[in-house]
Amino acid sequence: MKQSDSLRYRELPLRGGAGTMPALGFGTLIPDATETRNATRTALEAGFRHFDCAERYRNEEQVGEAIREALQAGSLTRDDLFITTKLWNNNHRPERVQPAFEASCDRLQLDCIDLYLIHTPYAFRPGDNQDPRDQNDNVIYDEGTTLMDTWRAMENLVDSGKCKAIGLSDVSLDQLRTIFEPARIKPAVIQVESHPYLPQTEILEFCNSNGLVTLAFAPLGHGIKPGVMEDPVIVAIAQRVDKTPAQVLLAWAVQRGTAVLTTPKTPDRSKENLDISALPADAMDEINAIQTRQRFNLVTGTGIPGFIAKGS
């Protein structure tokens, strides 16, 4: 295979001179702390250089330990890595943004974050409880804080120099527009669920025309079966090009111009998910023609995370 066919090394430029982001990233939404540390170590050894974290995942310390070990071993420098983390819903009040950011930096043992995202557009009751509920078990929202209020505090983090770029996650195109137009510092990255059953074409077109990166999560449909990995079009293409369905889905995502997150937990899966190469044009066309539509993560409707146990 020619190096030019490999999508594994693709870098996407970020708005505002904030450098580039490796298109293929490792997601750290792993519930178990030991598994997080081991999977992050394995991902670093296999060659992942882009890591997607979040205070809500409650494992930034374990990710930070794996990163510190790799930096101390001397084979990598901080500049080789692209680290994202995210502000959770209970910290949307402007005065809570900088403390939440600094707490994430401390847990990750980093002085500077490459990308900080507002994890969802929903403000929850401010406080230390990430999952505030009333007596009927309904989430308590904070009606007093708009997304723009939170965005202004995010802009201040870029001014401080401790955060190179900022962005949004789990937003609709309308929500993105309400921030994009008035923003002094425009979002550089939009993270949304995306795979052939939810191609997010409108968001991708808006991002492409305005120089934003679309970052796809759940590219394998969160592994829910039956799902995108079992789709007959994907399975047939995988056989034709001698790749696995996971590799075909990750390649499609990068080749169409998005960045993408994947969460391999073993050395073999890490190597497999990095080993992606360009698909033939007819394969891209066939995937783009898939008509099935399915959203696997309902976080966009409520701000309640789909894959984190309630009450934790």
Ligand X SMILES: NC(=O)c1ccc[n+]([C@@H]2O[C@H](COP(=O)([O-])OP(=O)(O)OC[C@H]3O[C@@H](n4cnc5c(N)ncnc54)[C@H](OP(=O)(O)O)[C@@H]3O)[C@@H](O)[C@H]2O)c1
Determine the Cα–Cα distance for residues 197 and 184; give it in Å rounded to an integer.
34
CB of 296 to ligand X, least distance (A): 8
Tokens 């009040």 -> residue = 93
Q: Which is nearer to ligand X, 184 or 245 (by Cβ)?
A: 245
- In whole angstroms, the minimum distance from the beta carbon of 71 to ligand X comes to 21
Which lies closer to ligand X via its Cβ, residue 14 or residue 274? 274
Distance in Å, CB of 222 to ligand X, minimum: 4
Measured at the alpha carbon of residue 49, what is the angle toward residues 53 and 247, in degrees to the nearest 5? 90
Shortest reach from residue 74's CB to ligand X, in Å: 27
Question: Considering beta carbons, is residue 182 or 256 the nearer one to ligand X?
Answer: 256
Question: CB of 142 within 8 A of CB of 125?
Answer: yes
Helices (H), 109-200: 147-160, 173-180
The label of the residue with tokens 């929500």 reads 175
Q: Which of 57, 116, 122, 197 is catalytic?
A: 57
How crowded is the C-beta side of 99, counted as CA atoms within 13 Å? 10
- The answer to whether residues 302 and 139 touch, using CB atoms and an 8 Å cutoff, is yes
Cβ atoms 188, 212 nearer than 8 A: yes
119 residue type, one letter: H
Task: Identify whether 9 is a catalytic site residue.
Answer: no
| Chain residues in the site for ligand X (CB under 6 A) | 27-29, 52, 169-170, 191, 217-223, 244, 246, 261-265, 269, 272-273, 297, 299, 307
Residue with tokens 């394969």: 283
Nearer to ligand X, 67 or 299 (CB): 299
What are the catalytic residues? 57
